[in-house]
Structure 1
Amino acid sequence: MYLLGNGRLVTRDDANPYLENGCVAIEGNLIKEVGETAALKAKYPEAEFIDAKGGVIMPGFINAHNHIYSAFARGLTIKGNNPTNFLEVLDQQWWTIDRNLLLPDTKASADATYLDCIMNGVTTIFDHHASYGGIEGSLFAIAESAKEFGVRSNLCYEISDRDGEDKMKASVKENVDFIKYAQADTTDMIKGMMGMHAPFTLSNKTLEYCAAEKPEGAGYHIHVAEGIDDLYDSLTKYNKRLVFRLHDMDILGDKTICGHCIYINEAEMDLLKATNTMVVHNPESNMGNAVGCPPILKMMEKGLTVGLGTDGYTNDMTESYKVANVLHKHNACKPNVAWGEIPTMLFENNRAMAGRFFEKPIGILKEGAYADVIVSDYDPLTPMNASNINSHILFGMTGRSVVTTIINGVVKMKDRELIGIDKEAVLAHCREQSADLWNRINAGR
């Protein structure tokens, strides 16, 4: 049993949101109790005490949309890559990378991502994978890494027609095989979904095939209206807007995640709400790809479950928080918007989304929740209390403020020292593997 205490405790539990000198009692993989440090130390004198040293104790972050396969893009120069629009970004960069990814590249990319997650306090990720150079076994390679690093994960493979029917069907099979594997897993650390790229790279025939093959109980994870071309494609080929097309193909629902949703209208928002479909906002990626600012504030106003992700841009959820906050103020030309909506996405809706897949609560510190707990070394220079927690996180913390990470009751990092992980060996292997990938990519250009 552990006691993690002597810190400012942020629980995300409305019944008990903040304790000035709080403590979390952890037994096995669950939170047994939260309370004042002195009281819990007296109650559990035999427990091992982990000293937060006055830092901020919080639930681990949840990343609702990530791309592990993008890890080795950092620093990469691809011959001839000079995109002027989003379709060129996809074709010249991302599809070039994923067509060259082999299983060892995928595994090393996962190692790099999970290492970064632990160091940034991200304890759960929803990942959307693509590796058309090595489809079969790719999700299992990521799951192997997830187990080695101990990060809670919901994985899927990106189905697309862009590389032909054989690879489309191989992608569907990878999803199906992995979903069945995850459904049989009893740890509640690994989940699977039916991943899809985007409507403009998926024919109705393929969508019907995916629906027919999808194991019962599984959901979909798909990019929707990330670029204007996705909308144009749907209007031109099917004479309907994207969300209506997906609804007609029975893709929407309470276990479906739609990433981005930039070019949707209010009727589509209403349909997403009516079907209880989830949406994930990825602000840095949208800005970096110059695809536009999604109507997230209107979605929130309508009561949609909108979460926050990184789309592979970073593994630091505080970055997404900061960028989303300024993006929507800038877009609306109103400095008084987004103060409440963005932290709701990150701290409430990401938790609610995880709750649709995992058996016990995540993203909250209360009795019976999974023990996914982090400590930030943030020392506030102004008063900190239950009413201004989010402001302190927004303006005072980064992912690298995290010094201690506990996932499922297991200490993965303590006082910035990784436990059971050889960081230098992981990074050395990643440098070798990524160099090999880069050489293969440019040799074929």
Structure 2
Amino acid sequence: MLLIGNGRLITRGAHNRLIENGCVAADGNVIAAVGTTEELKKRYPGAEFIDARGGMILPGLINAHNHIYSAYSRGIAINGYNPQNFLDILDGMWWTIDRNLLLEDTRMSALTTYIDCIKNGVTTVFDHHASYGEIPGSLFAIADAAKETGVRTCLCYEVSDRDGAEKMRQAVKENADFIAFCKKDKTDMVKGMMGLHASFTLSDATLALCRENTPADAGFHIHVAEGMTDVYDSLKKYGKRVINRLFDNDILGEKTITGHCIHVNGTEMDILKETNTMVVHNPESNMGNAVGCPPTMEMIHRGLTVGLGTDGYTNDMYESMKAANCLHKHNLCDPTAAWSEVPYMLFEGNPAIGARFFEKKLGALEPGAAADIIVTDYDPLTPLSADNVNGHTLFGMSGRQTVTTVIDGKVRMKDRELVGIDEREVLAKSREQAEKMWARINAR
């Protein structure tokens, strides 16, 4: 039994409440109880106790769309790279990197990213991977890194026709093999999906092959209408918009995650709603790639399940939350926009997405939920309550305030020290690995 107490505890979940001098009890990998520190210490007198020292005790955060391999773009300089549009960014940066990623690059980028997640209080990651330099075994390499660091994760490989039929088939097989592997895993810590790049790099034949190799309970993870290139391609080749095309190819549904959805219209939003398809918003990426602002506020008002991701830009979910808040206020010229919608994405949408894949409840401190718990050193300078905690989160909190991270009942970081991981050694090896990859890219 593990107790984490002596802090301001926010439960989140359907019955969100603040418990002053709160405490959470974890029995194995599930939460047994929440209450005051005094109450739970009396109830579990022999339990290990972690002192929050007056900080915040919160549910672990979820990142609903990440690109772990993008870690190796940090600081890179690619000869001749001078993008003029989104397609130039994809081909000149991201596809260039993934074509040069070997298995050890994939493993080390995952190890470093999961470490950064732990340090930012992120306990669950949905990742969308690509490494066309070496496809077979890549999802398993990421899963090994997730197991080593203890992070809960849902993985897929990005199927695309962009590098030819043989690599496309290898990508489909990697997804299918990994999904089968995850079905045998009983830990509830690793899940698999069929990853798809985007409509404009996927033929109908490829979509059919993916569908044939995807069990009904696995689902798809795909980028949708991130740039107008995707929309124009679908209209020109198939005479229909992207969401309509995916619907006709039986890709949408309650187990499908659609990333971005920037250039979608009302009819497409209706289809997403009727098929119960999930959407993930990635604000920093959308702004950084200059591809536009999605109608995320409208999607939420229409009742879609919408989550928040980082698209590889950061592992700090609060940073992504702050960016989304500013983006939608600016885009709509409305200072009242996004106050409730953005917190919904992170604290309700992401747990709802997690619930479609993981057995234990995520994103809440309540009996029976996963023992994914974080402690931060945030000490409010104004009164804090369950009603105004989102304002404190938006303007006062950051991922780097995380002091302790517990995932699945295991302490992965305590007092800002990683448990069982030599971070300096990992980062040193990662720098060596990244340097080799960069050299391969610029030797082309």
TM-score range for the pair, normalised by the shorter chain length: over 0.9
Alignment correspondent of 1:19: 19
Return 61-70 or 15-24, whichever deviates more: 15-24
- Superposition map of 1:342-421 within 5 A: 342-421=342-421
The aligned runs of 1:22-41 (5 Å cut-off) are 22-41=22-41
Residue type at the aligned position of 1:424: R
Over residues 274-293 of structure 1, what are the superposed CA-to-partner deviations in whole Å (9 max), with x where a residue is unaligned?
Answer: 00000000000000000000
SS of residue matched to 1:5: strand
Name the residue aligned to 2:289.
289
- What is the alpha-carbon distance in structure 2 between the residues aligned to residue 121 and residue 403 of structure 1? 8
Q: Report the equivalent of 2:235.
A: 235
Distance 1:108 1:152 in 2: 17
For 1:221, what is the secondary structure of its paired residue? strand
The SS at the match of 2:23 is strand
Instruction: Give CA-to-partner distance per residue, 1:256-276, whole Å, 9 cap, x none.
Output: 000000000011001000000
Q: Does 1:124 align with 2:124?
A: yes
Q: Deviations over 1:235-275 (max 9, x none)?
A: 00000011010000000000000000000001100100000
Structure-1 residue corresponding to 2:58: 58
Q: Secondary structure at the match of 1:128?
A: strand
1:335 aligns with 2:338: no
Matched with 2:198 is 198
Aligned-partner Cα distance in 1 for 2:228–2:15: 43
Secondary structure of the structure 2 residue equivalent to 1:259: strand
Structure 2 distance, partners of 1:346, 1:13, is 12
4+ runs deviating over 6 angstroms:
none
Tell me how far 1:21 sits from its aligned partner. Answer: 1.2
Distance in 2 of aligned mates of 1:138 and 1:66: 16
Q: How many residues align?
A: 444
Cα displacement (A) at 1:17: 1.4
The equivalent residue for 1:149 is 149
- Distance in 2, Cα, partners of 1:16 & 1:306: 19
Q: What amino acid does structure 2 have at the position aligned with 1:81?
A: Y
* AA partner of residue 152 (structure 2): R
Aligned position for 1:212? 212
Partners of 1:368 and 1:211 lie apart in 2 by: 34
Single out whichever of 127-136 and 203-212 deviates more from structure 2: 203-212
Q: Equivalent residue for 1:69?
A: 69
2:204 & 2:17 partners in 1: Cα distance?
47
**Mapped contact 1:180–1:215 kept (Cα < 8 A):** no
Task: State the distance in 2 between where 1:53 and 1:429 align.
Answer: 35
Q: How far, CA to CA, are the matches of 1:44 and 1:122 in structure 2? A: 28
Equivalence for 1:165: 165
Describe the superposition over 1:139-191 as per-residue Cα deviations: whole angstroms up to 9, x where unpaired.
Answer: 00000000000000000000000000000000000000000000110001000
| Structure 2 partner of 1:91 | 91
Q: CA deviation at 1:216?
A: 3.8
Shift in Å at residue 360 of structure 1?
A: 1.1
- CA distance in structure 1 between the partners assigned to 2:215 and 2:266 by the alignment: 32
Q: What amino acid is aligned across from residue 402 of structure 2 in structure 1?
A: V
Matched-pair contact (CA < 8 Å) for 2:13–2:363: no
Question: Which residue is equivalent to 1:5?
Answer: 5
> C-alpha offsets along residues 28-76 of structure 1, whole Å, 9 cap, x if unaligned?
0010000011111111111111000000000010000000110110000
Letter aligned with residue 412 of structure 1: R
For 1:187 and 1:14, the matched residues in 2 are separated by 25
Residues 99 and 133 in structure 1, CA contact (< 8 A), matched pair in contact too? yes
1:140 matched to 2:140? yes
Q: Helix, strand or coil for the counterpart of 2:159?
A: coil
Counterpart-to-counterpart distance in 2, 1:393 and 1:262: 26
- Please say if residues 86 and 289 of structure 1, whose CA atoms lie closer than 8 Å, have aligned partners that are also in contact: yes
Measured in 2, the distance between the counterparts of 1:90 and 1:15 equals 43
Q: Is the 8 A contact 1:328 1:338 kept in 2?
A: yes
Indicate conservation of the 8 Å contact 2:13/2:348, yes or no. no
Secondary structure of the equivalent of 2:330?
A: helix
SS in 2 for 1:186: coil
Task: Note if contact 2:197-2:223 (Cα within 8 Å) is conserved in structure 1.
Answer: yes
Amino acid paired to 2:439: N
Match of 2:181 in 1: 181
Counterpart CA distance in 2 for 1:13 and 1:109 is 32
Structure 2 residue identity aligned to 1:305:
T
C-alpha deviation, 1:16, in angstroms: 5.1
1:48 corresponding residue in structure 2 = 48
Q: Structure 1 length normalisation: TM-score?
A: 0.99
SS in 2 for 1:162: coil
Q: Distance in 1 between matches of 2:33 and 2:84?
A: 54
Amino acid at match of 2:322: K
3-state SS, counterpart of residue 172 of structure 2: helix
* Matched AA of 1:415: D
Percent same amino acid among aligned pairs? 66
- 2:106 is matched with 106
Give the match's secondary structure for 2:171: helix
